[in-house]
Amino acid sequence: MKLYFNKPSPYARKVRVVAHEKQLVERLEWHEVDPWADPRALLDATPIGKVPALLTDDDLLLTESQTIAEYLDSVGSGPPLIAGNRFEVLARAALAQGLIDAAFGMVIERRRPAAQQWQGWHERLRRAVDRTLPRLAVSEGRFDLGDISTACALAYIDFRLPEIAWRESHSRLAAWLDRANRRPSMAATGA
């Protein structure tokens, strides 16, 4: 299996964390690429040109972090990352993915040349972040796919958008993230 990734990507981090949690690190061929530079290796693997992308041993191309995470969960070892009420886990993972989308969108908007930035769009995404933070939920004592997505979303905000001072107003979630960040899978995958 070949995994195309880059270290700063919160989407790629989700699947990297899953690979660690499911003892798949040694079974993967890791291809670190910069998707913004359109490297030939990435474009040959995936027409979408985004990370993460996974090429399975059967030459099946999987794009989208959620799909890749579910695949790795199915082929790796250890307890399943989607257990119990499947849709409860998927709902938490999806909310966290929406949070990543909004936060990532804010970062990308700010990287445009000043004259091309759209302040109203940036503010709209920020409102989505602010509405979503109080709706996040984590499991009791597990580190399932919903938790992994939530941890990667919050860690990305800490990393790229420190001006969103979410920790003061969400202290229990902040304490949970601090514990999650100490897991070997999270510690090994920081940018």
Ligand X SMILES: N[C@@H](CCC(=O)N[C@@H](CS)C(=O)NCC(=O)O)C(=O)O
Which of residues 3, 9, 69, 138 is near ligand X by CB under 6 A?
9
Percent of residues in the chain assigned helix, strand, coil, to nearest 5: 60, 5, 30
- Report yes or no: 95 and 136 within 8 Å, Cβ to Cβ: yes
- Return the range that interacts with ligand X (CB under 6 A); candidates 22-30, 44-52, 85-93, 161-169: 44-52
- CA separation for the pair 9, 13 (Å, rounded): 6
Q: Does 52 bind ligand X (CB under 6 A)?
A: yes
Residue 39 is which amino acid? P
Only segment of 45-53, 141-149, 153-161, 181-189 that touches ligand X (CB under 6 A)? 45-53
Q: Which of 2, 39, 64, 122 binds ligand X (CB under 6 A)?
A: 64
51 near ligand X, rule: CB under 6 A: yes
Smallest separation, CB 28 to ligand X (Å)? 16
Cα 170 to Cα 41: distance, rounded to the nearest angstrom: 41
For residue 160, the one-letter residue type is R
Which residues within the stretch 99-138 sit at the binding site for ligand X (CB under 6 A)?
none
Q: Which helix (H) or strand (E) holds 85?
A: none
> What does the binding site for ligand X look like in residue numbers (CB under 6 A)?
9, 11, 35-36, 49-52, 64-65
